[in-house]
A and B are shown apart, each in its own frame.
Chain A
């Protein structure tokens, strides 16, 4: 009974306070028959016009359009045809706000098969993002890269190295994990630091080595928690947790967990001249096999990235990976990438990598130890949206 009285008092107190905030104009409005009329009158009185804006050249209702070329040279220390040069990918992007409630992003990718030289295209991503859901919610619908770890959301041209880490290639394929479905994210109202919780339900890209596109209703479910702190104006840390569950390529279930940790130092005043990033992702796969036995597999990478001067970048990376259905297989590699950025729209990178495995694999010409080198030239025309921090 006492609690009811307190609550009633609180409501009464708050209501009185809110009423006290109202202006004389609002009080007067009670005398009018129409609140709407008052609103119109207020709006007519307010907002003096600013001087007329000169016409903007280039104003257009067209979406932002860009084309990104990704030309690559490749060397491998095995095989007869061990030098190659391909237009690895041409990515066409179309991005715009749809209306006051949503925006759309489309990425169409045309890539070259190095073996045949033939090109094939696909909608790499095509999704709608809401802008007006209540309670800090945001819904994404369409085909998109899943909110997995750190690298999966990044398009290849924005990566600070040329090849994907071995754990990504072995667990999710060269292009990472993507699918069709829904993604609902919630910005947790935590004033102390950034927290975002994401849930996704999707089909799976058929090329994923771990998960299979189900012929039944066994979709891939993902939960991702992103945490971000500003340590100072110049340094930040990010810590993420991801959990996935879905049908695997054996028709059974795989549960997968991931941790990611990133430290960045980027001085605000000279952020175009120097920066340093230490980034790590660890993946644990728990795969059920046809005979109901379980294979636990592990993979991770650790990366150091530094901007040496305005145009020069250096990245070192160490990779370790099992195969998702064979934890006796161990692949390890070390790589070093040197990048030179002419402008925001053009960069050249070279990468040297040495790989060692405890078992030979047919796709590597049954070699257990081999070296590879890559050259990549990225070039952008048009207006391309910003990448996430």
Chain B
């Protein structure tokens, strides 16, 4: 009887090792890192994103159901820079998964190596939601996508060194694709360099810099503070003075205040995608920029 039980246990353990060893289970905080992980990891990975593409990544509810995914994850990819500070640490603690805790090999901070913008010299909450490490919306520059991919590739190689060649080959293809796409995207935006726009929230600085936009002001008077009547009056004046054609906003902000400005000035409100999955047609990281640039250029014409 004892032999039977021990045999059964051993068979279960070995089978478990076999079945779970084949696919690398990755949990990412956002859809953008999910998309890049799927490109680099190919058929070796199964990826789950906690945030959806149409949700504000600052304000994700730490549902216990995410803990189930995290508890068995082989790799965790975070955007870092305190973007997910309101929800990610409590989920990681509750996951009981030592492999993916901060500092462990299977914890990937995708921001490592990114040249950060708007790094404050001091933190004062009177200025609104200021991020201590700099503006965290860095994935909206496709050149930073290559750095994100490098970090994810490093993480995958740590947890699955036998597939190093496979991941490196996929990374090379990704980098080449981004380079090729970048030339096309830059050409698409070339005639609109310096175009002035209004943005709802301060989340476009990397995109703005890469594609040569000029964000004159924000609907939010300070980051995270909802638009006030006096701010709207100021924006309306700026739109008229600068002949601004476009207000860019995100799927998770209500349109009421942008609509007021649009009605008063004739400027178009464009709901841009901030992440993969924001709209059904955006299925990959490449699609994100295809979509946004098509929308933006049509609005600026």
Contacts and interface: CB of A to CB of B under 8 A. Distances in A.
* A associates with B: yes
Interface of A: 3-4, 7-8, 10-11, 14-15, 17-18, 21-23, 25-26, 42-43, 45-48, 50-54, 56-58, 97, 100-101, 103, 129, 131-133, 136-138, 187, 189-191, 193-194, 196, 226, 228-230, 233, 236, 238, 266, 268-273, 310-311, 343-345, 381, 383, 385-389
B14 A15 contact: yes
Interface of B: 3-4, 7-8, 10-11, 14-15, 17-18, 21-22, 52, 54-56, 59, 61-65, 67-68, 71-72, 85-87, 89-90, 93-94, 96, 98, 101-104, 111-116, 119-121, 123, 125, 132-134, 147, 150-151, 153-154, 157-158, 161-162, 164, 224-226, 251-252, 254
A136 B68 CA distance: 10
A323 B154 CA distance: 61
B13 to A, nearest CB: 9
A385 B90 contact: yes
A11 B61 contact: no
Given A56-B133, A389-B63, 13 more contacts: A4-B3, A10-B15, A22-B162, A46-B161, A53-B112, A131-B93, A136-B71, A187-B71, A228-B63, A268-B54, A272-B59, A343-B225, A386-B87
Contacts of A272: 56, 59, 252
18 contacts: A4-B4, A10-B15, A17-B18, A26-B162, A50-B147, A52-B113, A53-B112, A53-B114, A54-B115, A56-B132, A97-B101, A129-B93, A132-B98, A138-B94, A229-B65, A269-B52, A310-B226, A385-B90
B8 A386 contact: no
A131 B17 contact: no
Contact of B14 (A14, A233, A310): A14
Given A11-B10, A388-B90, A343 B120 contact: no
A343 B132 contact: no
Contacts of A11: 7, 10-11, 14
A230 B65 contact: yes
B113 A51 contact: yes
B43 to A, nearest CB: 15
A11 B161 CA distance: 26
A255 to B, nearest CB: 28
A133 B85 CA distance: 24
A144 to B, nearest CB: 14
A272 B72 CA distance: 30
A2 to B, nearest CB: 11
B17 A46 contact: no
Nearest to B70: A187
Contact of A8 (B7, B98, B104): B7
A58 B164 contact: no
Contacts of A271: 55-56, 59, 61, 252
B11 A21 contact: no
A269 B147 contact: no
Given A58-B123, A97-B102, A233-B52, A48 B64 contact: no
| Best-buried of B3, B7, B147, B251 by chain A (most CB within 10 Å) | B7
B86 A386 contact: yes
A381 B234 CA distance: 30
